[in-house]
A and B are shown apart, each in its own frame.
Chain A
Amino acid sequence: MTGSEFGLAISVFLACAVESVEALTIVLAVGSTRSWRSALIGAGAAVIALTAITAALGPGLTSLPINTLRLVVGGLLLVFGLQWLRKAILRATGLKALHDEDEAFREERAAAAAAGAPHDGLDAYSFAISFKGVLLEGLEVVFIVLTFGANQHRVGLAALAAALAILAVVIAGLAVRAPLARVPENAMKFSVGVMLTSFGIFWGAEGAGARWPGGDAALLAVAPAVLAFSILLVWAFRRTNNAETLELGEGAGA
């Protein structure tokens, strides 16, 4: 396995694990409040839909000319990478609340309970919420699997990494029978953001016609640089946030 294939597998695994944790919270909340059977059927239907999307779009993407593919994939990875990084940086600096799985679980349970008594047979509410939750959380993973996989002609490896992440989260969820609140979600999102952005810079530039000094080895400089810059931003915005909080506190006390 080459370095970039390893990067692909780790990125897909982490991204899929994070999204699976959030999807698991929704399925657990609906299942435990209303109908396990309907919630699990909804989740299963969403997984089948996501697999179908991957199977349908994968061959089309891999048949594109390599430079066009790299330009499109690089651009999309950059758009997604910057979104992941921005949110992770805002959470790390305290400017945005950390995602709380316990809180999300309580909210989903309250909404499920307020939706009236479950119907006999297939409970439409449980099915729909579970299906929608898994589908929406999974779409971004499908995108990452397709872009990373197609660009390196390793859609199979990317899909395997995603499947392993889902399996790990489901096993952990079954073991604790509760939302996986202790998973360091923000650190994982931060890592995924760094990887998506780094691969996006590398492939986007190549797709646009640029040649990196050192060829593929340049990625070994780009990824640490993105990580270092992101950590620098966390440090800078944390300082600004602390200074503003202090100023507000002093203003209120005056």
Chain B
Amino acid sequence: MKRVRAVVSGVWEFVAGDDWVSAAGIVLALSLTALISETSAAWFVLPPAVAGLLTLSVWRAARQRP
């Protein structure tokens, strides 16, 4: 059980790193793209979402510095 937990924790650390907010934001933005693409053009969702996430990520890191 400990090993499974260690593997899951390692994969999470490798993928999400120290910024889980960006990872969650990307999942949300991709889901929204999939939802909108059912009925209309959806290519415009990701670019502003990524721009916002990058700005937020840099801003949060800048705030956290000593």
Q: Mark A residues whose CB is within 8 Å of B.
A: 71, 74-76, 78-79, 82-83, 85-86, 89-90, 93, 95-96, 139, 197, 200-201, 204-205, 207-213, 218, 222, 225-226, 229-230, 233, 237, 240-241
Contacts and interface: CB of A to CB of B under 8 A. Distances in A.
Nearest to B14: A139
A82 B19 contact: yes
Contacts of A200: 50
A90 B16 contact: no
A209 B32 CA distance: 11
A239 to B, nearest CB: 12
**Interface-central residue, B23, B33, B43, by most chain A CB under 10 Å:** B43
Contacts of A96: 61, 65
22 contacts: A76-B15, A78-B26, A79-B15, A82-B22, A83-B17, A86-B58, A89-B54, A96-B61, A204-B30, A205-B42, A205-B43, A208-B30, A208-B37, A209-B38, A209-B42, A210-B37, A210-B41, A210-B45, A211-B43, A222-B47, A233-B55, A237-B59
Interface string B25-60: 011001101101110011101110011011101110
A83 B54 CA distance: 9
B4 interface: no
Given A86-B61, A95-B62, A210-B37, A79 B23 contact: yes
Contacts of A78: 26, 50
Interface residues of B, number: 33
A38 B13 CA distance: 29
A224 to B, nearest CB: 12
Contacts of A75: 26-27, 30
**Interface-central residue, A86, A197, A204, by most chain B CB under 10 Å:** A86
Contacts of A89: 54, 58
Contacts of A230: 54
B14 A233 contact: no
Nearest to A82: B22
A40 to B, nearest CB: 26
Contacts of A85: 54
**Interface-central residue, A205, A207, A213, by most chain B CB under 10 Å:** A205
A209 B37 contact: yes
A75 B26 CA distance: 7
Contacts of A95: 61-62, 65
Given A208-B42, A209-B37, A233-B58, 18 more contacts: A71-B34, A75-B30, A79-B26, A82-B19, A82-B54, A83-B22, A90-B61, A139-B14, A197-B54, A208-B31, A209-B42, A210-B45, A211-B37, A213-B41, A222-B47, A230-B54, A237-B59, A237-B62
Contacts of A208: 30-31, 33-34, 37, 42
